Structure 1
Amino acid sequence: MVTALLQIFIVYMSGSVALLADTIHNFGDASTAIPLAIAFSLARRKPSKRFSYGYGRVEDLAGVIIVFLILFSAIVAGYESVTRFFSPQPIEHLQAVVVAGIIGCVGNELVAQFRMKVGKEIGSAALIADGYHARVDGFTSLAVLIGAAGIWLGYPMIDPLIGMLITVTILKIVFDTSKLVFTRLLDGVEPEVIDNVKIIAESVEGVCEVTDLRVRWIGHQLHAEINASVEPSLSVEEGHEIANAIREKLLENFFYLSGTTIHVDPLTASGESCHCGHKNLEKIRGKQKNILVAYSQ
């Protein structure tokens, strides 16, 4: 926000549309921190009877708001660039424009390093992505310097062209960010996380196999549901100890793991398919098939 405020003053002095696009982008980035801060604040609340998993999903909703804020900044920047392309205006105070570009580059890089550091510490993919987003913003500020150099060399049309280039960059960020946000909303998880959880769980002494595994993000916290098969001769107490050993080992390797649901099965009847009788399972599948046929008709 400090970077954007310094830049807007120079935009008023110089009339540079490339700098205006960069400034709008920085204002948009500053505003994205607001819903994210609210989400992190709500996520600290304890689970309730209505929200038994807590309020971590608010972070994903904040991600949707962030996507639309960035998209709005791209639309405004693009409109101003196209307008200036067809209605060119003289650019003044080129030295000030250069200073503003440098301010934007340095300011965004400092924010990028801070966001990525904190994101890695708390396991927030959204915050890490936001850090890379800020780093890209620093590169767009460098584009402003190219525009200023073009004007100085006698090519004033470079200024609105740089503004359009910045707009395209913002749209690319919108696309990448929306993929991350909507993947989380649909309980999508990186495949390597699933593989690592399975390897760690199966490495625990007494675990014969992990038959079923589901992992999902709730905000920046990870939740795992595991079906682990053990020797059928073990007692309930021994099975319980193995489940605790799985949980402890996962927590050692995934500091952002908030909870685990571990179901211990005998090796002779492992997996969720064994929790329901074959006759009942066929009935359920038959009902599902009838529902799908009726829906299609």
Structure 2
Amino acid sequence: MSHDHNHGHSHSHIDPEAGDRKVMAAIAVNLGLTVAQIVAGVVSGSLAMIADAVHNLSDALSLVIAFAARKIARRPSDARMTFGYGRAEMVAALVNYTSLAIIALWLLWEGTARLFDPQPVAGWIVVIVAGIALAVDLVTAALTYAMSKTSANIRAAFLHNLADALGSVGVIVAGTLILLFDWWIVDPIVTLAIAGYILWHVWQGTPRVIRMLMLGAPPDMDAKAVLAEMEGVDGVASVHHLHLWEMQEGQPAVDAHVVVDEADPVLVRQRVIDRLHDVFRVEHTTLEMERPGACEPDVSVIGH
């Protein structure tokens, strides 16, 4: 019996230092905007503006968390964290999604209360500040968009800003309607719409993060398909105790026991590794090679 392990091939990333600079720039503009929005919201009496400011503050905090997680994730593995620190980004993503949910629930509560007791709102202040906010939100989204495609951590922060940009659009619409028609009721309605949109994003993004933290199989990998590919390799008699998970986001991993029916298990092992990489882009493979009859007849094929 032999136990073989392979890290696979290198995994390319966006230049981390350039990414860090973009995240820091996004943090700076969001903090400045938050202060301006809170002052404008208090002066104008707009709950939607204050809601947008609180959400914008959460954007800045989410970016701070994302930035810290990026730094931690690049630390090399050590005796305490033998798989490395890459999952710090997934923890950060979960924290950010949770904070989004809390903020959305608070907005629902406040918006509902204001719906039954509309308050006067200075529409012109709302429109001007929300216009500035929209510009800042779009700049922040542009800074993080590319990184959001490959990182759940940055994607959660990006969604904070995307939701905020749409919130700013809603606040502009509300302020305009207040100016034109004196419709104060629009302010809490927009607040409720922003809250609903945030909750929708949380519902969409959280399961992916939890699945990875729970060592779930990558969403684009079917265990039965992986099993079929492995058992189709020359020299493989059967496969059992198959485990699929992700080392880090976008880095699928496979752990399995392989029963070989030819003399050279090392050669069979390499064939399996190559097949997994070519078909499923597996970067991390751990295989235990076994001779026929070495395992129990009722052994689990997938998992233990």
Deviations 1:87-145 (A, max 9, x none): 433222x333223222333333333343331133xx32343354344323322211112
CA RMSD of aligned residues (A): 3.6
Task: Give how far 1:230 is off.
Answer: 8.5
Over 3 Å counting, the alpha-carbon distance change for 1:59 and 1:144 in structure 2 is same
- Asked if 1:124 is matched to 2:151, the reply is yes
Over 3 Å counting, the alpha-carbon distance change for 1:127 and 1:275 in structure 2 is farther
Q: Distance in 2 between matches of 1:108 and 1:193?
A: 35
Q: Distance in 1 between matches of 2:189 and 2:248?
A: 39
Name the aligned partner's letter for residue 268 of structure 2: G
Over 3 Å counting, the alpha-carbon distance change for 1:68 and 1:230 in structure 2 is closer
- Asked if 1:137 is matched to 2:164, the reply is yes
- Asked if 1:276 is matched to 2:295, the reply is yes
Q: Distance in 2 between matches of 1:204 and 1:277?
A: 22
Q: Distance in 2 between matches of 1:171 and 1:216?
A: 27
Match of 1:35 in 2: 65
Task: Give how far 1:76 is off.
Answer: 3.4
Task: Give how far 1:247 is off.
Answer: 6.5
SS in structure 2 of the partner of residue 192 of structure 1? coil
Q: Distance in 1 between matches of 2:106 and 2:269?
A: 58
- Asked if 1:168 is matched to 2:168, the reply is no
Pairing of 1:251-270 with structure 2 (within 5 A): 254=281, 259-264=284-289, 269=292
Q: Distance in 1 between matches of 2:235 and 2:160?
A: 42
Q: RCO greater where, 1 or 2, for CA within 8 Å and sep 6 or more?
A: 2
Q: Percent identity?
A: 22
Q: Distance in 1 between matches of 2:173 and 2:243?
A: 49
Contact 2:96 2:157 in 1 (8 A): no
TM-score of the superposed pair, with normalisation by structure 1: 0.73
Whichever structure has more helix as a proportion of its residues is: 1
Match of 1:179 in 2: 207
Name the aligned partner's letter for residue 136 of structure 1: A
Contact 2:137 2:161 in 1 (8 A): yes
Deviations 1:252-273 (A, max 9, x none): x74xx6522234567xx4xxxx
Task: Give how far 1:249 is off.
Answer: 3.9
Match of 2:27 in 1: none
- Asked if 1:238 is matched to 2:267, the reply is yes
Q: Distance in 1 between matches of 2:297 and 2:238?
A: 21
**5+ residue gaps, structure 1:** 283-287, 289-297
Match of 2:25 in 1: none
Q: Distance in 2 between matches of 1:37 and 1:200?
A: 41
**Aligned with residue 108 of structure 2, among 75, 78, 93:** 78
Task: Give how far 1:244 is off.
Answer: 5.2
Q: Distance in 2 between matches of 1:45 and 1:204?
A: 38
Over 3 Å counting, the alpha-carbon distance change for 1:204 and 1:100 in structure 2 is farther
Q: Distance in 1 between matches of 2:86 and 2:116?
A: 47
Match of 2:23 in 1: none
- Asked if 1:158 is matched to 2:186, the reply is yes
**5+ residue gaps, structure 2:** 1-29
Contact 2:239 2:259 in 1 (8 A): no
SS in structure 1 of the partner of residue 245 of structure 2? strand
Name the aligned partner's letter for residue 117 of structure 1: A
Over 3 Å counting, the alpha-carbon distance change for 1:138 and 1:265 in structure 2 is farther
SS in structure 2 of the partner of residue 91 of structure 1? coil
Q: Distance in 1 between matches of 2:278 and 2:129?
A: 50
Over 3 Å counting, the alpha-carbon distance change for 1:19 and 1:244 in structure 2 is same
Over 3 Å counting, the alpha-carbon distance change for 1:85 and 1:138 in structure 2 is same
Task: Give how far 1:23 is off.
Answer: 1.4
TM-score of the superposed pair, with normalisation by structure 2: 0.72
